[in-house]
Amino acid sequence: MADSKKPLILITNDDGVNALGIKKLIESIAPLGETIVVAPEGPRSGMSSAISAINPIRISLLRSEENLKIYSCTGTPVDCIKIGVDRLSYRKPDLLVSGINHGSNAAICVFYSGTVGAVFEGCIIGIPSLAVSLTDYSPDADFSEAGRVGNFVAKKILQNGLPEGICLNLNVPNIPKVKGMKISSQTPGRWTKEFEEMKDPAGRSVYWLTGEFFNQDPDNIDNDEWALANGYAALVPLRIDMTDYDFMKKMKNWEK
């Protein structure tokens, strides 16, 4: 598997190598080039950019055929990217695609998501990177439309590239056919009512993560939550450098 004429594509996710979403992603993206899949052995949602700093990482080859290799990894999504590039790729990949995530990664979810964390890592390494998510958390969701739109964006990236330090976050609404795709901004907001309290068999309180998203700008037709609510796929360009250069200038008088 070393045809330099074909794009080299790296695929991962945070739902695990056996999740239906990544199977649809492989089906949608693998025909575009040589493909290496390195995905967690099980669910790793909410891992953001976590790495395995203490525990060793193990990888297992699950499938090998012409132009496609699939590995499971005991680490996090970011571990999958690091070891995929460092140990399993014969050159730096031309494209990284993460997903298809079971559930939305719009708005501030980019800070928590292992799907997007893997894409940030790819961007840091210098790989044009795309996260793909479907707004359906069910394990048997229909990922066909998300796969189709993801394929479209992946082709655009392979044709045009991405600027240094920029990656893309694609969210697709859970409908049979989207109205189109909107280039969107990240919706401002935060999660509220984040925990549900229950009792364990001993009567002690335990807390399950839940929550409601408070949208601070619900009527802005340029943000990703508006696009999804109105039947559009939302594509948001994200940057690795989070420096606020405007405020940095205003802070100059803080210097000694």
191-240 pLDDT, tens digit each: 888 889 999 999 999 998 888 888 888 888 999 999 999 999 999 999 99
In a domain, 248, yes or no: no
Residue 128 domain-assigned (yes or no) = yes
Helix (H) or strand (E) holding 167: strand 166-172
Total structural domains within the chain? 1
Please report the pLDDT score of residue 211 as a whole number: 81
Q: Tokens 């420096």 label which residue? A: 243
Q: Is residue 164 part of a domain?
A: yes
In a domain, 211, yes or no: no
In a domain, 197, yes or no: no
pLDDT classification of 3: cutoffs 50, 70, 90: low
Q: Is the pLDDT at 57 greater than 60, yes or no?
A: yes
| CATH classification at residue 125 | 3.40.1210.10
Average pLDDT over residues 234-248: 96
Model-level pTM? Answer: 0.93
Is 67 part of a structural domain of the chain? Answer: yes
pLDDT at 12: 98
Which run of H or E residues covers position 115? helix 114-125
pLDDT digits (tens, 9 = 90+) for 89-144: 999 999 999 999 999 999 999 999 999 999 999 999 999 999 999 999 988 899 99
User: Is 204 a member of any domain?
Assistant: no
For residue 1, pLDDT over 70 is answered with: no
In angstroms, the CA 172 to CA 77 distance is 21
Q: Which domain holds residue 139?
A: 8-189+218-241
Residue 209, pLDDT score? 86
211: alpha, beta or left, given left = phi > 0 and alpha = psi -120 to 50? left
110 located within any domain: yes
- Residue 61: pLDDT band with limits 50, 70, 90: very high
